Chains A and B, each alone.
Chain A
Amino acid sequence: MNATTAMEVNAEARRILAVSISKLYASRSQRGGLRLHRSLLLSLVMRSARDIYHSSREIEISSAAQPTPEPMETSSSSPAGEQIVPEPQPELQTSEESESEDEGCEEGDITEDKENMSPTKQSRKRRGKAAAAPDFLPIKRARLEPGEERHAAPNCRGAESLSALSLNLNRAIAAF
């Protein structure tokens, strides 16, 4: 796949991810509650789109001369963040990163919780530092409960936010 095709595929993957996220948001307010089957299918599509997004991204990066670091957006809001009220969100960290990801955490703490990471996290490839901000993700953070502070989770790697996004999808299903 050359860089142009990779870019097209990348754009398509991003679009599908955006559509999927909005569907996930919409399904939360559906009568009858979250449908497990539908949520599962959405997460499968998002996972494929994410994988294709990453692989096409890597092709783009490898064929580009210099990877340029771009300003990252703040973390995407977890579509199911509010549903996970009782569960504290373990942090996603690899040894390479210094920043941590916060996905709609309702409590104030960031804890590194390597023990409770799901197996899929460990097998993920190391991300290049120059992952571009995913522009399909909503800029606003998840709505926090009144009285809770927003704590600093400034720059997040776009790639990690995607991975964490589908992880949170799993947690959404878990909480269901």
Chain B
Amino acid sequence: MAGPGGDMQWCFSQVKGAIDDDVAEADIISTVEFNHTGELLATGDKGGRVVIFQQEIENKNLPQFRSEYNVYSTFQSHEPEFDYLKSLEIEEKINKIRWLPQKNAAQFLLSTNDKTIKLWKISERDKRPEGYNLKEEDGRYKDPNSITSLRVPVLIPMDLMVEASPRRVFANAHTYHINSISVNSDEETYLSADDLRINLWNLEITDRSFNIVDIKPANMEELTEVITAAEFHPHQCNTFVYSSSKGTIRLCDMRASALCDKQSKLFEEPEDPSNRSFFSEIISSISDVKFSHNGRYMMTRDYLSVKIWDLNMESRPVETYQVHEYLRSKLCSLYENDCIFDKFECCWNGNDTVVMTGSYNNFFRMFDRGQRRDVTLEASRENSKPMQVLKPRKVCAGGKRKKDEISVDSLDFNKKILHTAWHPQDNIIAVATTNNLYIFQDKVN
């Protein structure tokens, strides 16, 4: 059965997380990110923890190799805090994780909650020194009189230990809630964005940052839009984009001025008047923006669709994909149960030919740009036999429901897939349901 991307057949590989239906709130996955090689996969959760999985590459040259991701490191990144001035609790939930490109043996990642960004160093230790002259093996100091000879301590192998240590803490720069972080291609700076401001940081300097975008109006009563996501261009270190709650994307060039309030480009699609409703404004709010790997396109996700924009054309997207158009007539109920505020993310595959995003009922969607095909797949425990091929799912919008179709009213809106990630090179995807992480791979791979 051919799917997007030619003959891609997605198979179940692994699932991580607790099996029981009773989900502890702290275990809710809030972000998923592969590193630049795809060897490491990081997840953040509502409890402020980061779990990193490492790919065990066995027999990569064999045609049907199965890559397994196993736990590599787990650490508590953020703790709940209290802002005494505002009498507000600061959630420890990890909003975003971004990996730094690897420069030496250690791995570095940035993790952020609503207010504070932290740079973590993840390093391996597989040797330990033995044979100290002045110390016993357990660390107690020897009686100096008992030392009669001198020897050189040697490094002996030990069980692999992975240590995570916070190297930098970037705090107190955001009044509003941080929604995005993005590492620059210069590998020296990164940006952090909250609802109204974007700051530029140097990875080495924690006590100051540059404010590069500020859309806070002088009179807050005139507030009409907020920043929802921001990202640096993958190759041009002077370029970044930020999306707004009004459905617009602004591309800024940091060479133009210190404060990038005036955009270089404004990407906006005129609203379709036939789709106007009470809720049209809020469903046009962009929840995620991602540059393509080649840097020529960017993708935005709003509540009902995924749009691909050519950076050279501001007037409208070049491609629009409907994720779950059948929800358009249900917006009122989705407003009442709060689902309309869900922030779905989206991602590109390694060669920018396929894009993926999540939906409800643990469904996720893939759109093949070249072949103009799309597929709906489901992440569920029922389909979790090793290498079990995922069967495409279909939602019946109305009228007669065919066999194997699921009707809109039977969808479980509590089972939402907000976070997905695609391996940078291979056809391996990580899909996060509420508290489980599913890893699927292409059968052929």
Which residues of A are in contact with B by a Cβ distance under 8 Å?
A: 16, 19, 23, 31-33, 35-38, 40-41, 44-45, 48-49, 52, 118, 167, 170-171, 173-176
Contacts and interface: CB of A to CB of B under 8 A. Distances in A.
A43 B50 CA distance: 35
Given A52-B278, A174-B219, A174-B220, A32 B90 contact: yes
* Interface SS majority for chain A: helix
A173 B221 CA distance: 7
B285 to A, nearest CB: 7
Interface string B59-99: 00000000000000000000000010010111101000000
A173 B282 contact: no
B288 to A, nearest CB: 13
Contacts of B222: 118, 170
Contact of A41 (B91, B93, B196, B341): B341
B214 to A, nearest CB: 14
B48 to A, nearest CB: 12
A16 B332 contact: yes
Given A37-B195, A38-B341, A41-B285, A167 B221 contact: yes
Contacts of A118: 219, 221-222
A33 B86 contact: yes
A118 B341 CA distance: 28
A18 to B, nearest CB: 10
A31 B91 contact: yes
Contacts of A31: 89, 91
A171 B93 CA distance: 28
A41 B223 CA distance: 11
A32 B278 contact: no
B88 A32 contact: yes
Given A41-B245, A44-B282, A118-B221, A33 B88 contact: yes
Interface in B193-228: 195-196, 219-226, 228
A35 B221 contact: no
Interface secondary structure of B, over-half rule: loop
In order of increasing CB-CB distance, the 4 nearest A-B pairs are A174-B220, A170-B221, A33-B88, A32-B91
B282 A41 contact: yes
A16 B335 contact: yes
Contacts of B88: 32-33
Interface of B: 83, 86, 88-91, 93, 114, 176-177, 179, 195-196, 219-226, 228, 245, 278-279, 281-282, 285, 332, 335-336, 338, 341
Given A16-B335, A19-B336, A37 B245 contact: yes
A170 B223 contact: yes
Contacts of B219: 118, 174
Given A40-B245, A41-B282, A171 B91 contact: no
B96 to A, nearest CB: 15
Nearest to A47: B281
Contact of A170 (B83, B220, B226, B285): B220
B332 A171 contact: no
Contact of A40 (B89, B91, B226, B338): B226
Contacts of A45: 278-279, 281-282, 335
Nearest to B281: A44
Contacts of B338: 23
Given A19-B336, A31-B91, A167-B221, A36 B176 contact: yes
A42 to B, nearest CB: 9
A23 B334 CA distance: 13
Nearest to B115: A32
A37 B225 CA distance: 8
B221 A32 contact: no
A41 to B, nearest CB: 4
Nearest to A20: B335
A32 B177 contact: yes
Contacts of B245: 37, 40-41
A167 to B, nearest CB: 7
Nearest to B285: A41
